[in-house]
Amino acid sequence: MKIELTNKETNVVQLKVELPPEQVAEAIDRAYLKMRKDFSLPGFRKGRVPRNILEKRFGIEIFYEEAANIMLQTSYPQALEEKNIEPVARPEIEIEQMVSEKPFIYTATVTVKPQVTLGEYKGLNISVQTEEVSAEDVEGELKYLQNSRARLIALEGEDAVAAEQDQVIIDFVGRVDGKEFKGGSATNFPLVLGSGSFVPGFEEQLLGARPGDRITVKVSMPAEYHNEELAGKEVEFDVTVNEVKRKELPALDDDFAREVGDFDTLEELRASIRERLEDRARLAAEQQLREKVLQAVRDNIVVDIPAVMVDNEVEVMLRQMESRFARQGLKLEDYLSYSGKTLDDIKEEMRPEAENNIKTELMLDTVAEVENISVEPQELDAELDRLAQAYGQPKDKVRAALEEGGQLRGIEQVILHRKTIDFLVEANKAQ
């Protein structure tokens, strides 16, 4: 196999590959064996027509396309390896010669992984402040726990007067210009006053209401309301208050501490809350430091990213968005309709983040190469152990599935990047 490499432009090379006639003959043989099952001629069983008969009837050219594909599948990866080329997109293939008994010649125009020039990437002296956990923070978390265990008690008698944060159980019917509208009525609907669940002005008009009260609530619908038939209209709701309920908070005492966890006293619970908040603050500071280091090092690199890499990353991000919507029972089309955006709008909004993601990966690959950071077999084994435990599958089965799907290299890349980030954080944090 002969290979000529030509630099066409930044991050684009052209390979001219030539295979000898004997490989062409072998590929045509393989093409015939693969294609013969599709042929049926009088006097022959389907799939049993001899090659010479097919060539006389249709010409040897019927095998050329399949033969060319067979040669491309083997020769193109070999050419990449021989010339040490790392492509970032599918090549543009142009076949220059495909003729029996002559060399097979083609050119492949390949967009390659761009070169990164590192700037300052060590000794940047970056620091972050870990947020202090105050007594108010602890009490706020304690109040949250108290509220999460509150009971709703139906108010009776003189006490049954709806106030802010009370829950009212209501029936209502909405009308525009005296006519009921679709979706504007409900029975025994629970509404927390002050929650902002309804249109502005609705909940405030129920403050002071009692069970059995009938109230006419008048509101102006927002001009940008999602229902165009109601947007900007004056709407009246006939509301019947069925019940008024109020939260009854448990006492903050030792019994409460025993109820929410393995604590003997309320002070033990407070100490545990403080420890958890301090751990959260420490982890947040560590994450902030990692992000600041990555940004600082990334800002110092020079790289010319091919547009196709950004396009591909945008498509990955789009698929991830679709998956998130699917988990919520939504479709991307629903989001586009609701937001008033087109698919092209979404892709354009994603491009800056996509470019940032690519710059980060290229930067980490380059630092790992310069600093001789690699993934040890035991590190890959440990990651596979973690994945096996997470999926509840034997490690050998997980490894086999990843290898079959071509994903094992991706797992190694994740570990390599994680190690490289650890290196950069250690090399750049303030001492």
Average pLDDT score over residue span 236-258: 95
Alpha-carbon distances, residue 100 vs 32, 51, 93, 105 (angstroms): 13, 14, 20, 12
pLDDT one-digit tens code per residue, 346-383:
999 999 999 999 999 999 999 999 999 999 999 999 99
User: Is residue 37 classed as helix, strand or coil in its secondary structure?
Assistant: helix
pLDDT one-digit tens code per residue, 125-176:
999 999 999 999 999 999 999 999 999 999 998 889 999 999 999 999 999 9
Q: What confidence tier does 43 reach under pLDDT thresholds 50, 70, 90?
A: confident
Average pLDDT score over residue span 260-276: 95
3-class secondary structure for 119-137?
CCCCCCCECCCCCCCCHHH
Q: Within a 10 A sphere around the Cβ of 133, how many other Cβ atoms?
A: 19
Query: Cα dihedral sign for 406, 409, 410, 411?
Result: positive
pLDDT one-digit tens code per residue, 170-228:
999 999 988 898 888 999 999 999 998 888 899 999 999 999 999 999 999 888 887 77
User: Quick one: 426 exposed, middle or buried, by C-beta within 10 A (0-12, 13-18, 19+)?
Assistant: exposed
Task: Report all structural domains of the chain as residue ranges with CATH numbers, in order of start.
Answer: 2-111 (3.30.70.1050), 151-248 (3.10.50.40), 275-428 (1.10.3120.10)
